[in-house]
Amino acid sequence: MSPRLAGKVAIVTGAASGIGKAGASLFASEGAEVVVADINQDAGRSVSEAINAAGFRAIFVPLDVHDTASVEEMVRTVMKHSGRIDVLFHNVVNARMVNQQDRRCTELPEDVWLEIVDVVLNGTYRCCKAIGREMIRQQSGSIVLSATVDALVGCAGYDAYTAAKGGVVSMTRSLAAGLARDRRLPKLCRNRTTARMA
């Protein structure tokens, strides 16, 4: 049986660790050419080297989702290297800040709120904008955004994280509906955390 993602190019953000790292290896083992994108350059390079050493294909591209220019540069690099983008699997989170500094809003410093919302929600907007435009040009692509059940049921002491992830869940629905309009034969999957165009 041929690999299910042969010929596909998959960008995995936050791929230097955790779920993104596991996803990058899985996409590669299914035949995709994987773009390991992360702010942590040493760990990201190790992930792409390990994938290549296992006989699959990956490149590392630095990414800081705070910065629109960094996101756009990642997309330019991938387009130059691979010529297309079939998948975005978006996993970036500033986990240490969330775990150590998020609070209920009555005790939450504004700078912590702004930083968590910027990485989790604004970063999702920046990546979906730049990559979504390429997918519209191609008339194909799949976007998978990692959210959390905490955004749906609430989690005491995590007001910034749950609010930002709630925004990601809501954006997933409107993004799926909005991008589907650009397909000649739209096939829309209304999964809670998955926007599919093809």
Closest CB to ligand NAD among 63 and 75? Answer: 63
Binding flag, residue 39, ligand NAD (CB under 6 A): yes
Structural contact between residues 179 and 188, judged by C-beta atoms closer than 8 angstroms:
no
Binding flag, residue 57, ligand NAD (CB under 6 A): no
Binding flag, residue 18, ligand NAD (CB under 6 A): yes
- Give the helix/strand (H/E) hosting 30: none
> Cα separation of 183 and 193, whole Å?
20
Structural contact between residues 78 and 85, judged by C-beta atoms closer than 8 angstroms:
yes
What is the size of the binding site for ligand NAD (CB under 6 A)? 21
Chosen residue from 10, 14, 132, 160 binding ligand NAD by CB under 6 A: 14
Binding flag, residue 20, ligand NAD (CB under 6 A): yes
Would you call 34 exposed, middle or buried from its count of C-beta atoms within 10 A (0-12, 13-18, 19+)? buried
Chosen residue from 32, 36, 92, 131 binding ligand NAD by CB under 6 A: 92
Structural contact between residues 175 and 167, judged by C-beta atoms closer than 8 angstroms:
no
Q: Which of residues 152-191 bind ligand NAD (CB under 6 A)?
A: none
CA distance from start to end of the chain: 21
CB 12 to ligand NAD: min, Å: 10
Binding flag, residue 19, ligand NAD (CB under 6 A): yes
**Tokens encoding 44:** 């990201």
Which has the closest alpha carbon to 42: 73, 17, 24, 22?
A: 17
Helix (H, G, I), strand (E, B) or coil at 152: helix
Binding flag, residue 127, ligand NAD (CB under 6 A): no
Chosen residue from 24, 34, 35, 38 binding ligand NAD by CB under 6 A: 38
Stretch in the footprint of ligand NAD (CB under 6 A) among 9-17, 75-83, 171-179, 182-190: 9-17
Binding flag, residue 5, ligand NAD (CB under 6 A): no
